[in-house]
Structures are given as C-alpha cells and as structure tokens.
Amino acid sequence: MAYITVRPLPKGLEPLAELALDLRWSWSHGHDVLWCRVSPEIWEATENPWVVLQEVSRGRLEDLARDAEFLEELRHLVAARSRELSDATWYSRSHPRADLGCVAYFSMEFGLGEALPLYAGGLGILAGDHLKAASDLGVPVVGVGLLYQEGYFRQMIDSGGAQQEAYPYNDPAALPVVPALAANGSPLRFALSLPGRRLGLRVWQARVGRTTLYLLDSNDPLNGPFDRGITGKLYGGGPEMRLLQEIVLGIGGWRALKALGIHPEVCHLNEGHAAFAALARAQSFMEEHALSFDEAMWATRAGNVLTTHTPVAAGFDVFAPALVEKNFRAPLLGTSRIPPEKVLAMGRRNPLDPGEPLNMAYLAVRCSSAVNAVSRLHGEVSRRLLANLFPRWPVREVPVEHVTNGVHVPSWDSASADRIWTRACGKGRWLGAPEALENAIHALSDADLWAFRSEGRRELVRYARERLAAQLGQRGEEEEAAQVSRVLDPDALTIGFARRFAEYKRPNLLLTEPKRLARLLDLPGRPVQVVVAGKAHPADEQGKELVRAWVEFVHRPEVRRRAVFLEDYDMALAQKLVEGVDLWINTPRRPWEACGTSGMKVLVNGGLNLSELDGWWAEAYQPEVGWALGDGAEHAEPGWDAVEADQLYRMLEQEVIPAFYDRGQQGVPAAWVARMRASMARLAPRFSTNRMMGEYLERLYLPAAHAFRSRSERGGALARELARWSTLLDASWEEVRFGGVRANREDEGWRFEAEVDAGGIPPEHLRVELYAEPSGGAGEPVLEPMSREERIAATSNGWVYRARVQGSRAASDYTVRIIPSHDGVRVPIEERRITWQR
C-alpha cells in the first residue's frame, strides 16, 4: 500500500499517515493511546492525530521507529482497522440484494471535527454526521463540498463584551486531506468556463472511514485574486460570490466526480445551495445519450433527492436574473449548453415572469423527485413555504415528506457514557438498527446512572475552567484568570445553552428577568449554574447585542461563580457541553427551528431537555423524558415572549430544581434519574443517525436509484417517452374538462358519476379522483379513485367515471379532480397539473 503524507516518515512508521488521514479517529477512539505515546503534550493540547504527526520532532519519530513495542502496537492497530473496514456492515446484512451504486451528498458545509473546520452551524454538523453514519453502516455515500481557505469565523469577546471576528487560514498542508488523483496518477485539476476567463479548480479528498469527502478549491495561483477567493470564506462575499460558490459546488462537484470515475445513481442535495449539481448531471446525461435537456431531466430527476432545512422563505438563496445570465452565458455546461432562460424558469415561482429572481430552493425542487424536511413540524412548515410551486393543490399534498434529523452518537458521547452504554448494550450498538437498545438501559441501576451523570458534570466543570482561564488570559485579565478554580461547582445543577445568537432563537429568553435569574442561580442549598456559548453572524448587529447582554450578565459580582460565557463556540466546545450538562435549554420561536439537533446530543450522555415545542422536540416530548416550553401553537402577538419567559422561570423553580435536589437515602434523585433513564432509552436510539440513515436509504435512496436505472436504461428510452408525454400534456391539458357530475344516495353512502372530456390526451394518462377534506379538519382527506367505464356517445374522447363512498357526509363535501398519470411518474412533484370540478 502506498502511504501519502506531507512529511516523510521513518521506515516502519509509514502507516501512521494512513491512521492520521482517516477522520474515523474523530469518533472512534481506539487509537488515542497510540497518539498520546507519540507526543503527550501535542495530543493533550489538540487531540488531533494529524497535528501530532506534523508537529512532533524528527528525533522523536526516529526513536519510535526503533521502539519494538510501539511498532507492534502500530501493526496491531493497522490490522484491526483493516478488519473493521472489511467486515460486513448493517447495509450489507440488512439489504443483501440492494444494488445501490453510489449516493453523492452535496453540501456547502461539512462539520466532521475541528481538524477540518468547514462548517458554520447545524447544517454542516448534520452533513458531517451523515457521512460518519454512512461509514459506520456501510451505506455507499460520498460527500462533495468546498475546501475553504478561511471557513467560518472564530469568535473573541473583547474587554467591553463585544464580539470580534477572526479568520485563521486553513492551510491544506496542515489539514487531514490529500490531493484527489486523476486517472494518470497526477493531482486532479480541471477548469470551469466563466465570463471572460477560466476558473481552475483543485480537488482534495478526506477519508471518513469507509467513505470519502471530495473538496473543491479555487485557491489556485493560476486564477485571478477574485476567483481565488471563491472558496475563501464560508457564506462570504456578496451575491455574485455566493452564486459562484454554488456553481463551483454543484457544477464543479459533478465534474469532479465524473473525472474521478464516480457515477452516482442518487444525488442528495443538502439544501438548495447544491441545485446546480442537478443541472450538471442532466447536461452529462444529454451528452452521453444524445438527448434533449428535457429528456435528460426526466431521466436524472428520478435520482435526485433534496433535503430542505429552511423554516422561512427569507432563508432561500435568490439571485438576480442578470447575475445568472451573466454567469451562464459562458459555455459553463459544456458543448450542450443549457440556456440561462431555462435555468431561470425552473427557479421561479412563475416561470414566465422575466423579472422574478432565481430561487435556488425552487430550482432544487423542480430538479428532484423527492423532497424532505428535517422534522415532522418542519414538514408542515415546508409544505406551506413551497405551496406556491403547486398551485391549486391542497397544502397537505404539497410533496414534502420528512426525515427527522439524528445525531451520530459516537461523535457526541463522553468517555463515561461510552463505558456505561458498552456495559449495557455492547460495543456494536451504533453499528446497526437502533430499535433493540431501549431495554438494555432499563437494566442499569439508578446509582450507576447517577454516578455516570455526575462524572460528566465534573469533567465539564474542569474543561470550562480551563477554557475560561485561556480566554481571560487572551484578554489580559490575569487576575480574573487566576480565580477560575472558584467558578462553577461540580455538584450543582448545570444548565447548558449554546446556539447561534439570532433573534428568532431567543437566546436571551432566560435573561428576560436578570434579577430573577440571579436569585435562581443562588438558591440556598440548591445552587444552579449556567454555561452559555454562541456566535452571532458578523453582519447581525442585533445578534451581537444578545451576546453582549450575556457577557455583561456573567460579569455581575453576584453571579460570577454561577454563570460563564465560553467564547468561540465550535465542535470541540459543543462536545464538552453536551457531555456534561444536566439540562439543555432551547428557546426558539415556534415554528422557526427546523429541527435543532443540539438537544439530541445530550441524550446519550444522560442530559435532559427543556425546550420549546418546536423542531424535533415537538415530536419527541413526553412528560417522562423532559420538559416542554410553550403550548404547541404559533404566536405572533406582542408579549408572548414574556409569557414563555415566565413559564421557563416557573418550570425551573417549581419542577426542575426540586427534581434534581430531592434525594433519597443513597443520595440519588429518583425522579431525575427516572427521566434520565426514559430519555436515554426511548430517545437516544430514535434520534440517532442510525435511524435517520435507515430512513434515507429505504424511503429515498433505494427508490430513487431504482427509478433512475429504469429511466436511463436503453439510452434513456423511458425518459424520452416521458418527455413526449409531458409535451402532449403541454399541448392538450387545457382541453381536459368536466361535463356533468352527479351524486346519488346508495345504501349507506353515495355513488358519484362524472363525465370527463379528455381532449387530446389518451384517457389512460389521466387519473380521476373523488376528494373530500378531512372531516372536522383533522386526519386524512378522502381520496377515492374513480373507475373509467363507458364512453360518452357522440364524443371523440369523453368518458364516464364512477366511484362509491360510505358514510353520512353530505355529497357537497366531495369534489372531483383530474391529474396526469403515467407509470413511475411521481405526481405532483414531477407533474403539477390538476383540474378541479367547478
């Protein structure tokens, strides 16, 4: 095997590069002892094998190359890793006949760990967890993203409490990535045509266990300064820079896969940012099979899946028509160019409105055969947001399903959590289906659960003191730094709150009454402490003021020992917080939290949630597992925040704190531990990426791959047929109309009869249905197919359709509708026409 490393290693140590370049170490800690032996100092400071390998002295490496015991340990770990990667996986065992070739997962950000800081928040953390789960379960997924020179900003708080931003440089030589290689063995480079120039792109790869993440980089010396900055800052620059980033991700990402000989059957677009990948895929199919763009789209759309994370329309990226036309006038998509007007039409609510901007979410929806939201409630919100793309369809039938997010549990469990779960469930618990884990947690004693929870809290207090001392020292506050050993109490109820500081997340709801909070933190005999972290977007001045308010509060003399704000919220800090807090608080304004996975991360560690009934908590909450804020409804009225703030304080005062401090003879809080046990057993497996990945595979990936293969075989014969069918609908749909519709009482129901003139459309390409809204507004609608029976005399294509329904509802509750129909076509996401009985 050839070992790739930036730094030559002494003979015998070459496998260290292989281990350090596989980011599996970020969640599988079997090699930690080895890296600690290489350099205890560097390991303790970074816990990053790649940094250890780059920074350790040559002399130390040469000593290790002569250390027989170390070499034997290295050989043992390399062999063990090889066995683990070649073992049968959940996917191979549970789907032995599945022939899923490859899923390409396109995302603007990936949060795999601080060793590769290419994320800003929850979207990226979810993408990183998705790849890790694919590796653990053996699902054939590859990631496609951008290698940012600076990524997202790092946060510092100045002496006045104001957030300051820094952008450290990501040197590829210092990151655990290597150049992706072309077929001839040289580093892969290629170019995209842009107006007046060619944009050179380099491709890097990061190993993530069984899967690979490919990263595109425009920081090529042959590019101009502006173009080198396309992959500069994550979400940086103005609209044109953002558009170019998304062109590089989608079109460049697809070209990179093609150059690497990777041919995905499924493209998973993680948010609308990646929509251009669907256009590039269609263009490739056009060229390979000599098809038109519409024919190629019918073929490739079947294999595209979109996940939307946005709870508000303002979150969709939009670009002015002139900006899009400018960047698509160049031969960006190869010899068979897609006209800019076609792209703009697909990305507009009204395709015929030339003044409407390109909406990337709309474009992604129109290029996909399946769309999913990231929680049940977010599915409802997303159907409302996207309803204008499906005119005349009931909102409940807007084609957005949901796959609730999960978290990659091995990335977020503490060492003590790992030990107790291993004792209860075994080492392979997160390598398969999670359903069998619940009963094992019930076998653990209250004392064991409480001891493990207390260990996590003590470790958080130790870590928070160290981090607080470092940030105070950075500001030159040496006297305060010397007092950090008096901050926080390892035995006190510890509340955690860490979010992006944006107004709709209401990060300061707990600060609504500062004096009341201060009293709560210092209850005699029942102390409470709070650890807060979070960043505001650099352009969000309101968010920065919310940060400042917390910083000012934690500096009050009466609370300085009970409240801390830890700056520079990142994955490393998030891991320590979710491992150690007793209670995680989340206070978004419903329904603006699409999912909110941070609260899921405390589950495995025995932490409890007190959260708004929004996102995932709206479907997870039961009184036995935690506490709920709000009434489960949406409120726009002034003053509602104050109502929920009071509810939050009362819940803490009257329920949470007593449950934590009411102890039995053994010093164990029985009511608290009961909630811990229920939360760990019921929720941790359910909200893991194991469950999530299984749902994506079975509900989305496998059907999409099957549909793509069906439409693409024989040179895209079925796709050509569907394009002809769609053209026929374009020409003749307006001819479809109703004649008479009659309802007659029959037994205990109604017999409906509808006359339909199909115009120029063969009747087998129409579906006539009887429809009624849910009785009382709740439940599912009535949707009864009507059978085509006799032809209407004296018409060329008129037919009588009939259906029967049971029940006492009035005939006027029902109406008849007509939709297009073709085997394998998903209506309405692929074909939106609908005609209702007048």
Domains of the chain: 15-86 (no CATH), 101-405+701-711 (3.40.50.2000), 409-687 (3.40.50.2000), 736-836 (2.60.40.10)
What is the three-state SS of 527-581? CEEEEEECCCCCCCHHHHHHHHHHHHHHCCCCCCCCEEECCCCCHHHHHHHHHHC
Instruction: Return the pLDDT at 335.
Output: 57
Q: How far is CA 434 from the centre of its chain?
A: 20
- Helix/strand/coil for 41: helix
What is the three-state SS of 482-533? CCHHHCCCCCCEEEEEECCCCHHHCCCHHHCCHHHHHHHHCCCCCCEEEEEE
- Helix/strand/coil for 240: helix
Length of the chain measured in residues: 838
Distance (Å, rounded) from C-alpha 825 to C-alpha 421? 45
Asked if 811 and 753 count as a contact pair (C-beta separation under 8 A), the reply is: no
**Spans of the chain below 70 pLDDT:** 1-6, 330-336
Q: How far is CA 708 from the centre of its chain?
A: 24
Label the pairing between strands 766-772 and 528-533. unpaired
Closest CA to 364 of 296, 270, 298, 257: 270
Query: 392: alpha, beta or left, given left = phi > 0 and alpha = psi -120 to 50?
Result: left
Angle, helices 446-474/670-678, rounded to nearest 10 degrees: 90
A 10 A CB-CB count for 433 gives 14
Asked if 197 and 332 count as a contact pair (C-beta separation under 8 A), the reply is: no
Closest CA to 455 of 490, 427, 410, 495: 490
Burial class of 297 by CB neighbour count within 10 A (0 to 12, 13 to 18, 19+): buried
Instruction: Return the pLDDT at 434.
Output: 80
Instruction: Return the pLDDT at 587.
Output: 96
Query: 534: alpha, beta or left, given left = phi > 0 and alpha = psi -120 to 50?
Result: left
How many Å is the Cα radius of gyration of the chain? 29
User: 769 forms bridges with which residues in the sheet?
Assistant: 785, 817
Q: How far is CA 276 from the centre of its chain?
A: 19
Dihedral of the CA atoms 135, 42, 574, 672 (nearest 10)? 100
Distance (Å, rounded) from C-alpha 258 to C-alpha 256? 5
Burial class of 285 by CB neighbour count within 10 A (0 to 12, 13 to 18, 19+): buried
Distance (Å, rounded) from C-alpha 292 to C-alpha 516? 67
Read off the pLDDT of residues 129-181 as tens digits, 9 standing for 90 and up.
999 999 999 999 999 999 999 988 999 999 899 999 999 988 888 899 999 99
Token readout for 185 is: 């063995």
Closest CA to 696 of 305, 250, 126, 213: 305
